[in-house]
Amino acid sequence: MSVQFFSEDISFSPENPSQLEKWIQATCVAEEQELTELNYIFCSDDFLYEMNKTHLEHNTLTDIITFDLSDNQTLEGEIYISVDRVR
């Protein structure tokens, strides 16, 4: 199980990342999901706007974009969060 936190084009890290990781892992166990890898990427509005245009063909700002990379047996994904938007 791997839960990781990254920042892209901004300086940000969540408070208590190890506590968040434990909570996410416990939630996966409770939901009977095998977690392979889950990446949280914190970024700016500009970065997420460009991702929204490029990958989803949406010409709007958004707070979160998720990419489900799971197969039928394991949970894997990326969660991009605009810190500007969610504050």
Amino acid at 76: E
Q: For residues 87 and 44, which has the higher predicted lDDT (pLDDT)?
A: 44
- Residue whose structure tokens are 């894997």: 76
pLDDT of residue 36: 95
> Which tokens is 65 given?
């974009």
Q: Provide the pLDDT for residue 87.
A: 83
Domains in the chain, start-ordered, CATH in brackets? 3-86 (3.40.390.30)
Q: Which residues pair with residue 6 across a beta bridge?
A: 41
pLDDT digits (tens, 9 = 90+) for 23-77: 999 999 999 999 999 999 999 999 999 999 999 999 999 999 999 999 988 999 9
**Cα gap 29→75, rounded to integer Å:** 11
Confidence (pLDDT) at 73: 85
Q: How far apart are CA 24 and CA 8, in angstroms?
A: 21
Q: What is the pTM of this model?
A: 0.92
Separation between Cα atoms, residue 44 and residue 60, nearest integer Å: 14
